[in-house]
Chain A
Amino acid sequence: MPKDQPDINLSPKVSDEVRKTTCYMCACRCGINVHLKDGKVAYIEGNRDHPVNQGVLCAKGSAGIMQVNAPSRLQNPLKRVGPRGSGEFEEISWDEALQIATDWLEPIRKEAPEKLAFFTGRDQSQSFTSFFAQNFGTPNYAAHGGFCSVNMAAAGIYTMGGAFWEFGQPDWDHTKLFMLFGVAEDHDSNPIKMGIGKIKARGARVVGVNPIRTGYNAVADDWVGITPGTDGLFILSMVHCLMKAGKIDLTYLAQYTNAPCLVNGDEKSPEYGLLLRDENGKELVMDRATGKLTPFNQKGVKPDLAATHRHAGISHKTVMQHMAERYLSDEYAPEAVAERVGISAKRIRTLAAEIARVAFDEAFELDHEWTDFRGKTHKTMQGRPVSFHSMRGISAHANGFQTCRALHVLQIILGTVEVPGGFRFKPPYPKPATVHPKPHCKVTPGAPLDGPHLGFVHGPDDLALKEDGSPARIDKAFTWENPMSAHGLMHMVISNAYAGDPYKIDTLFMYMANMSWNSSMNTRGVIDMLTDTDANGDYVIPRIIYSDAYSSEMVAYADLILPDTTYLERHDCISLLDRPICEADAAADAIRWPVIEPDRNVRGFQSVLCELGAKLKLPGFTNEDGSQKYADYADYIVNHERKPGIGPLAGWRMGENGTQSGRGGVNASQLDNYIENGGFFVEHIPEGANYYKPWNAAYQDWAVGMGLYDSPQPYLFSLYVEPMRKFQLAAEGHGDRQPPDHLRARIKATMDPLPIWYDPAPENLVDDFPITALTQRPMAMYHSWGSQNAWLRQLHGHNPLYLPTKLMTDNNLTDGDWAKVTSPHGEITVPVLEMAALNENTVWTWNAIGKRKGAWALDENAPEATRGFLLNHLIHELLPPKGDGLRWANSDPITGQAAWFDLKVRIEKATPPAESQPAMAPIKSPVGKGPSKLSWKVGK
């Protein structure tokens, strides 16, 4: 060593202790190692053993230390003392806060429980919060799925018993062509990055379909810069090409899907368009071996895809024939769709051909013997190495449900779902739609609701309607306006409550939902609804209770604030009963636990509900002697049983001979077992059971053993979704439950049981507003949360509007100029930047970077407030008026999903204002401002 080379300590002590828990910096739920020094968080890294992230961690996860130290953290329960929106609060004790909540809620429950609307935003404890709401007795409960990705989830479940992300993943070990459509980068983000890295390392190809070439699309081998909202048309055109070329998996279609099922062809029948069934309700197919109608699940049956059953002068044709009639039509030929989708006919054909080449020429077999539900044993597993993934980009459109359905139909005709190399389900999926609960809405004063709020409808009888036919729920979920709204419609709650349509409520109770800012369409309008008073001077929405950990924009609009903890200070369970974190090869769940104690007067929201539930004497939260049943959320996690032997956590349940997985009794040491294991539990699926799961007898038996369902549930994939046809039949006049006349035509048109594409652009006045405006979430930020984080806000401190080269030139704009962006609903003036790798008729910006002055403990001159902005000001929860005097929601007519990405605008150059417009007045901060300098080492 030269004399001037110093001797340095190469093995410094890393930390005093490592505590392993679950991240909550976004919805991905990775395992983290939290390093502590002197009892304080010093460093956070990924947990190598964890099934979700296998050691890696994104920017948000590594920045968790700055979230736990954020100056925006709420300190005490707060009672509003000034007018709503003033930010004038008084700090109160928890006793007083809980008493206020009890005094408000107790009379409601006694008289009209539906007057409580309880909606829980980006909640990761929905099976618990819904349990609270159900016990309270209100039908008005949901989380944020309705304004996020319900189209993706519901289309997947109705079509094939699961969708992407929490439901399933590509077979990263075998796939050779991975095609992804419009992704939200906080959904399954680390696993997707890991998967892309893994498949690219072995030379597999990635195709990205997205109007914007960033992130995953930037590394995609091929980028398809599609016109927003036309993905369904593009996909159906590829379906056209593949069917016409016979590049479809006939064995798969015949054995595992309803393609060979016969559709009632009797136009006069009330069952016209429904599937023919036997006396046991089993779908019927024509057996090629016998030429007879046979239930689909009979041993040895050879379902005939091409069959026609003639009976009493009526021809009943297979689903496959209906598909051929529709999709072979020239209407779906690449030449017919090219202009609308913004992709040349030649390129559409090439992409379809590449899919065909990989699916069929590169097909392979795994040497795993398995037995199907009909009792037939297969020596090998047929693999087709093409896989797909998608999230919000295609689902947040008014045609999103049918578009997501189209994507699943494409996967299914290729035979790539739940096969080696394709898309694989994660337990507890696959699960047929019929196994899920149906929605419940029967209100009894002083008593719980008659069942779970949310679920899957299978026809008009399952809608959440009152006896007079009016909506039972404040958000009008499960009504004729949006019959299959499986996640509710959180984005309609405030506007419906304000309008008193379908009825007025008393208390709005929300958790983790920034509804007066980035989580609402029409932000300014929502603020006005929250603050408006009636003729008596009373607020139109009388009471608002809100729980949040941070000083978000929503805090100022509540009357009572219940301050939550940060994610490192709390118990949680990532449960199989909720939104699970399983892998295709394993069932898994996890916990959070307080790796540090809060240094403020705050409590975990779920623990607060345990206490509030007991004060309200809710049966699920009270012992027989009237005492509080669950001391806190940890107590609930361990001791609650949904049914005997099934609780929130599947690991280390008590059996006769010690602990066991899946089913079992309560184990008082369960949380300690989780902590010892690194905060999570994994149970692997046996080899031979891990593909073909919906039809694989070994998997079905394993799933029953784990408690995922009570008996084997094999089923056929629904290329043809029969429940949709039932709504069409009602619209055609069949049945007792009839839609209002003004909705008949729309129901008939949109509830097509085979995927269709329709254009939402005309309703959004595309002729006057010809440009689509989108948002994306950056990989390093989660909704509004990142800006309070001193490290992350340096990555994305403001959000220019990105314009394609053509629009920059057409409008004489250069980087740094400002533009006025006008939609049918409003206008904003914002800074612009050029981006060439962008669909030439699309503009976009990062989501939720813009902040209101005074929120998040930021300086009022923070770039988030002066140059940042929201597109939300341009989007209304209702479509522009059509002149018929009716309110038409800016939502998918099937599920009610908020159609964020249907936004159409026009652009013109503007004189630069002092700051982004509209600029709203600052709100008073309940927590003050953050410090100017950060420079510390923990433990020094």
Chain B
Amino acid sequence: MTTLPQSTTRKLGLVIDLDTCVGCHACVISCKGWNTENYGAPLSDTDAYGADPSGTFLNRVHSFEVKPPILKDQPAPEAQLIHFPKSCLHCEDAPCVTVCPTGASYKRVEDGIVLVNESDCIGCGLCAWACPYGAREMDAVEKVMKKCTLCVDRIYNENLPEEDREPACVRTCPAGARHFGDFADPDSNVSKLSAERGGMDLMPEQGTKPVNKYLPPRPKDTLSEGAGDIDILAPYLEPVAQEAKGFLGWLDKTLEKL
């Protein structure tokens, strides 16, 4: 068993905007590229060109279709597709740490990042079982547990220009749907964004107190039948004429005023 710190000085994590994520997988592959080359063992791929390719990814995008409930007397709302990127949430009460028999899994005191010390990892896989989010992956070649490091080797890296000291997934996200910062600081970009947009915990009932927050999609399809905006807009199409001749009269009158 491994103990968690009582508290951490900073709480570094991500805000992921589900209203903006287009599901392009840019974060998935950028993460794969950086973390193959950097912290710990490379992220391997087995059967890479074969029938059942399977590789280690620290971040994956899942897509879910949502069918909003049909309200009485209203047409069925359009179905929606939500892209949901998922990686380690760097929980405050991380069950993956406490379950670790060797102390290889740990949460950093200074910033709250949950890491695996690969030299102490025996590859037992208990942490992956304990994580309710499925955010850890056993590398099939190296037989060590891999997980999001929040790019701990980027965010403080003095060999990188200051503007690049953020996780690879955040730096690469084309839609700007990923944000990195310190949730312990109420004035940080991530704290403010989460407060403004109703940032949510993933599966709060698990009691893991995840640091990462998800911004929910904004209400959609407000210009469809049965939605609020539809009747307010009607006056904008008040006719100036019914047919071509009347239109010309209107045109002439209006041009005179220009």
The interface bits of chain B over 6-27 (1 if a CB of A lies within 8 angstroms of the residue's CB, else 0) are 0000000000000111111110
Say whether A350 contacts B255, CB under 8 Å: no
A56 and B117 alpha carbons, distance in the complex (Å)? 30
Q: How far is the CB of B24 from chain A (nearest CB, A)?
A: 4
> Does chain B have a CB within 8 A of A807?
no
Say whether A862 contacts B51, CB under 8 Å: yes
Say whether A218 contacts B174, CB under 8 Å: no
A222 and B36 alpha carbons, distance in the complex (Å)? 39
Which one, B127-135, B180-188, B242-250, is touching chain A?
B242-250
The interface bits of chain A over 827-853 (1 if a CB of B lies within 8 angstroms of the residue's CB, else 0) are 000000001111000000000000000
* CB closest residue in chain B, given A196: B175
Say whether B174 contacts A194, CB under 8 Å: yes
A461 and B244 alpha carbons, distance in the complex (Å)? 35
> Does chain A have a CB within 8 A of B206?
no
Q: Which of B45, B224, B230 contacts A790 (CB 8 A)?
A: B45
Query: Using a Cβ cutoff of 8 Å, how many contacts connect chains A and B?
Result: 316
Say whether A328 contacts B51, CB under 8 Å: no
* CB closest residue in chain B, given A352: B237
A675 and B45 alpha carbons, distance in the complex (Å)? 34
Say whether B220 contacts A223, CB under 8 Å: yes
Say whether B33 contacts A65, CB under 8 Å: yes
Say whether A792 contacts B29, CB under 8 Å: yes
Say whether A71 contacts B49, CB under 8 Å: yes
Say whether A837 contacts B172, CB under 8 Å: no
> Does chain B have a CB within 8 A of A543?
no
* CB closest residue in chain B, given A42: B37
Asked, given contacts A194-B176, A321-B244, A347-B223, whether A306 binds B251 with beta carbons under 8 Å apart, the answer is: yes
> Does chain B have a CB within 8 A of A857?
yes
Q: How far is the CB of B112 from chain A (nearest CB, A)?
A: 12
> Does chain B have a CB within 8 A of A198?
yes
A357 and B235 alpha carbons, distance in the complex (Å)? 10
Q: Which of A216, A320, A837 contacts B22 (CB 8 A)?
A: A216
Q: Which of B3, B80, B106, B222 has the most CB of A within 10 A?
A: B80
Asked, given contacts A218-B23, A356-B237, whether A62 binds B220 with beta carbons under 8 Å apart, the answer is: no
> Does chain A have a CB within 8 A of B203?
no
* CB closest residue in chain A, given B160: A14
Asked, given contacts A5-B108, A216-B22, whether A347 binds B45 with beta carbons under 8 Å apart, the answer is: no
Q: Which of B65, B108, B168, B236 contacts A356 (CB 8 A)?
A: B236
Q: Which of B20, B238, B250 has the most CB of A within 10 A?
A: B20
Q: How far is the CB of A60 from chain B (nearest CB, A)?
A: 8
Q: Which of B106, B171, B175 has the most CB of A within 10 A?
A: B175
Say whether A305 contacts B251, CB under 8 Å: yes
> Does chain A have a CB within 8 A of B72?
no
Q: Which of B137-165 contact A (CB under 8 A)?
A: 141-142, 152-153, 156-160, 163
Say whether A793 contacts B175, CB under 8 Å: no
Asked, given contacts A5-B109, A935-B45, whether A794 binds B54 with beta carbons under 8 Å apart, the answer is: yes
Say whether B250 contacts A4, CB under 8 Å: no
CB neighbours (8 Å) of B255 from chain A are 250, 254, 288, 304-306
Say whether A197 contacts B172, CB under 8 Å: no
Say whether B48 contacts A931, CB under 8 Å: yes
Q: How far is the CB of A37 from chain B (nearest CB, A)?
A: 8
> Does chain B have a CB within 8 A of A623?
no
Q: Which of B25, B142, B229, B230 contacts A795 (CB 8 A)?
A: B25
Q: Which of A288, A324, A929 contacts B49 (CB 8 A)?
A: A929
Say whether B65 contacts A835, CB under 8 Å: yes
Say whether A213 contacts B244, CB under 8 Å: no
Q: Main SS of the interface on chain B? A: loop
Q: How far is the CB of A667 from chain B (nearest CB, A)?
A: 30
A37 and B65 alpha carbons, distance in the complex (Å)? 43
Q: How far is the CB of A224 from chain B (nearest CB, A)?
A: 8
Which one, A43-51, A746-754, A900-908, is touching chain B?
A43-51
Say whether B79 contacts A1, CB under 8 Å: no
Say whether B159 contacts A14, CB under 8 Å: yes
CB neighbours (8 Å) of B22 from chain A are 193, 196, 215-216, 218-219, 779
Asked, given contacts A215-B22, A324-B244, A859-B49, whether A935 binds B42 with beta carbons under 8 Å apart, the answer is: yes
A220 and B30 alpha carbons, distance in the complex (Å)? 25
> Does chain A have a CB within 8 A of B252?
yes
Say whether B218 contacts A221, CB under 8 Å: yes
A189 and B174 alpha carbons, distance in the complex (Å)? 9
Say whether B109 contacts A218, CB under 8 Å: no
Q: How far is the CB of B251 from chain A (nearest CB, A)?
A: 4
Asked, given contacts A779-B23, A932-B50, A933-B141, whether A791 binds B55 with beta carbons under 8 Å apart, the answer is: yes
Say whether B174 contacts A213, CB under 8 Å: no
The interface bits of chain B over 215-239 (1 if a CB of A lies within 8 angstroms of the residue's CB, else 0) are 0011011111100011001111111
Say whether B251 contacts A194, CB under 8 Å: no
A142 and B173 alpha carbons, distance in the complex (Å)? 35
> Does chain B have a CB within 8 A of A597?
no
> Does chain B have a CB within 8 A of A241?
yes
Q: How far is the CB of A470 from chain B (nearest CB, A)?
A: 44
Q: Which of A5, A247, A861 contacts B106 (CB 8 A)?
A: A5
The interface bits of chain A over 862-898 (1 if a CB of B lies within 8 angstroms of the residue's CB, else 0) are 1100100000000000000000000000000000000
The interface bits of chain A over 332-359 (1 if a CB of B lies within 8 angstroms of the residue's CB, else 0) are 0000000000001011011111101100
A5 and B8 alpha carbons, distance in the complex (Å)? 13
Q: Which of A58, A858, A862, A863 contacts B24 (CB 8 A)?
A: A58
> Does chain B have a CB within 8 A of A711?
no
CB neighbours (8 Å) of B168 from chain A are 45
Q: Which of B34, B81, B160, B176 has the most CB of A within 10 A?
A: B81
CB neighbours (8 Å) of A220 from chain B are 220
A213 and B158 alpha carbons, distance in the complex (Å)? 43
> Does chain A have a CB within 8 A of B82?
yes
Asked, given contacts A5-B106, A246-B250, A779-B22, whether A354 binds B223 with beta carbons under 8 Å apart, the answer is: yes
Say whether B25 contacts A779, CB under 8 Å: yes
Say whether A59 contacts B157, CB under 8 Å: no
Say whether B243 contacts A837, CB under 8 Å: no
> Does chain B have a CB within 8 A of A312?
no
Q: Which of B51, B79, B244 contacts A836 (CB 8 A)?
A: B79
CB neighbours (8 Å) of B54 from chain A are 794
A859 and B53 alpha carbons, distance in the complex (Å)? 11
Say whether A219 contacts B152, CB under 8 Å: no
Say whether B156 contacts A10, CB under 8 Å: yes
Asked, given contacts A44-B33, A58-B174, whether A935 binds B157 with beta carbons under 8 Å apart, the answer is: no
Say whether A221 contacts B222, CB under 8 Å: yes
A242 and B238 alpha carbons, distance in the complex (Å)? 9
Q: Which of A198-220 contact B (CB under 8 A)?
A: 198, 200-201, 207, 213-216, 218-220
> Does chain B have a CB within 8 A of A507?
no
Q: Which of B41, B44, B159, B248 contacts A13 (CB 8 A)?
A: B159
> Does chain A have a CB within 8 A of B136?
no
CB neighbours (8 Å) of B158 from chain A are 11
Say whether A246 contacts B240, CB under 8 Å: yes
A935 and B34 alpha carbons, distance in the complex (Å)? 14
A9 and B38 alpha carbons, distance in the complex (Å)? 11
Q: Which residues of A contact B (CB under 8 A)?
A: 1-2, 4-6, 8-14, 37, 42-46, 48, 53, 55-63, 65, 71, 185, 189-190, 193-194, 196-198, 200-201, 207, 213-216, 218-223, 225, 241-247, 250-251, 254, 288, 304-306, 320-321, 324-325, 328, 344, 346-347, 349-354, 356-357, 361, 779-780, 788, 790-795, 797, 835-838, 857-859, 861-863, 866, 929-938
Closest 6 pairs (CB-CB, A-B): A930-B49, A836-B79, A935-B44, A197-B176, A193-B174, A353-B233
A59-B30, A221-B218, A794-B45 are known; give 4 further A-B pairs, CB within 8 A: A2-B109, A242-B237, A288-B255, A794-B53
Q: Which residues of B contact A (CB under 8 A)?
A: 2-3, 5, 19-26, 28-30, 32-34, 36-39, 41-42, 44-55, 57, 65, 67, 78-83, 103, 106, 108-110, 115, 117, 119, 141-142, 152-153, 156-160, 163, 168, 171-177, 217-218, 220-225, 229-230, 233-244, 247-248, 250-252, 254-255, 258
Task: List 8 A-B pairs, Cβ < 8 Å.
Answer: A12-B159, A59-B30, A219-B22, A245-B238, A356-B236, A794-B53, A795-B29, A837-B78
